[in-house]
Structure 1
């Protein structure tokens, strides 16, 4: 962040925060939207190529989420002691390597390794970006910038869809293209993110973030962690098996199901307005409404094709799954603000803790959904996930939690 001269009060320029937000949004797009969530778009192709059953496909997705858990634990500590740029560039390098390994995978083990490395990239991305924005952007812009960057997930998902359509059955070139894009975004962030430690735009002094905030446990932190885990478990159904449900039970063909995925990503961009939703409903009301919406858009794809006549069932499935992108991004944005509100003195820790529990829920959820699908059916597995989301609507932020 640059400052004015000594003849006038320090005042941050708008251009630098905008460039920071743009580069950060792109990094979230390639790590979350592509290196992590594009796997679900290609599950049908991977199952055909490598002979994977539903439990095995869910287990591979779970490996990516487990790697996310490990990476975010390291990242949320490192972001407080290392310059955010170093940690963010590590995330970009992992995304580049993971997608390249998927593209060249000779068998299921290499595919799983690529998904694992790609999953780790997401864990390394969010904390340093949250840290940089919290200390390099003026207070009046921080919430909006944080939510814009967080909405990059939807942008990445929207980009992966057209690539999949263009590739057709040739999924390996698609993943090579993903790797090239990840490398380009990594180089962009190398030129844009601040090279030094974080600095508060309110003054010239350097802000030092502790590795571990004190106190570690704060009023409302247990509720946040539980809510995040429930949200992650519920969301794993759509992210891992959403396209497969559309193909096998929803009456959508290959092109329509990819178009659904593109729309899912496009609606995810609406998550940039999460702050406005919170201003209108309050943190507790916004969380409850978003989780109930998550339950609805997870249950409708399982119920609509059999309950509605003709083309209404597939249309309802398409619409509900597409809206899932907006709901999911809103929920992650709410958790991002929840974590920062609980830990204003250590924003990377607050965001990292919340996102760690999202990944923990997804780590458990993907194989669970695959197991229920194998033992019962995929629609029934989606109904289980929807029930978890409905239950999670009751775990709302405590009034007055955190420190200000």
Structure 2
């Protein structure tokens, strides 16, 4: 398989076609699964997914690219199975993903997702949580009916992924307002489990349904774990410096919540004057206005936090792509999976050359 890490325009077009194909194959089954929920919870879930307005009127669109479903489908293809074999697992991973988003929006007090009010804002906290629970329950019922291999049953694979996601989310909550003198990479990497655990579950479910050997499944999960770290770090960068019009979320989101994300941790550990000034400002209490948030973002950048985060994200992506070649899967299919891996970072706009490394977090995420 190809070992490059830059997604060419041609490869980008192929990824778009692949995503559209996987989405077309799995979306009907996903709609059916959501439709089997309690009517009120089905409407909340459908709203969250972008299918309808709060009153239930169809929007005619579906928000999101269904990347996780595509990961499951492509993982199955890498070990010789067709798309149809992977669809139940792909749908289950999307249900788990959206369960986590419904809960995450509430825990982070996010009021916007994809440019629309989040489900908890529209329907209330309790109903939104219950809708997330319903999606998770449906996913687990679906996986209970999947077989996979004796060594790696598909149902157990996704159940373990859910446990990992929950542990990661618990660690992530601990990053809010984390004391500046106790910032550490281990705490951050523990929180990355909320992303890496799900991605590992996606590829493992797909591969298990294709009767992949256990060693291949484990290596595929390891690749997805690195992809998850890269994804989370890139998302942290976007949360501070991303375009709200493109992300559908307010600027400076994580700084607004006083969350110790990777760029912030890197800046605080940089040993720079800007990092020291950042620590002093973060230690102060009280609400922060837009000018203060912009100044915090500038200090993070000046201290090297943004450059270090972008370098680290690319490093983990490189490692993920390298591990794909060791899974023993079909090289052509793995090339498609590698292209999808690269797409994850490219969609965050991370095509810039890797910046010079700072001492802030060198080796911390290895």
| TM-score, structure 2 as length reference | 0.33
TM-score, normalisation: structure 1: 0.31
Greater RCO, CA 8 A, separation 6+:
1
Q: Which has the higher helix share?
A: 1
